[in-house]
Amino acid sequence: EVLLVESGGGLVQPGGSLRLSCAASGFTFSDHYMDWVRQAPGKGLEWIGRTKNKGNSHVTQYAASVKGRFTSSRDDSKNSLYLQMNSLRTEDTAVYYCARDTDAALDYWGQGTLVTVSS
């Protein structure tokens, strides 16, 4: 069974940093691209980034809204994906999901972790 479990969310002040983790199991993690998607309270889904697999040099891409502030990385030996979030803004408040990317579709999602940016 494919399972994705995010952790690391919480309350942080504007300008602060937070690191999210996504633990994967039930599939060959190293083979897959992995994505991050967020959802602000009461709002729609927003794609924020993608980390390719080892065969594609773990290249990452980001949405313009987080580029330069967020960094996605992965440790295939630990079946884990990470999102380092710096210079956080109030508008970054959202539930953050990690998702498995298969041929440009997100076929498995974690349960999400809530990040609240507030003073």
Interface ranges with another protein (CB under 8 A): 35, 37, 44-47, 50, 61, 63-64, 97, 102-112
- Quote the DSSP letter at residue 43: S
Strand 80-85 with 18-25, pairing: antiparallel
Closer residue to another protein (CB): 27 or 109: 109
Closer residue to another protein (CB): 51 or 117: 51
Supply the minimum distance, in Å, between the C-beta of residue 82 and another protein.
19
Supply the minimum distance, in Å, between the C-beta of residue 109 and another protein.
4
Contact between 11 and 118 (Cβ < 8 Å):
yes
Cα-based distances in Å from 63 to 35, 67, 112: 11, 6, 19
Closer residue to another protein (CB): 88 or 100: 100
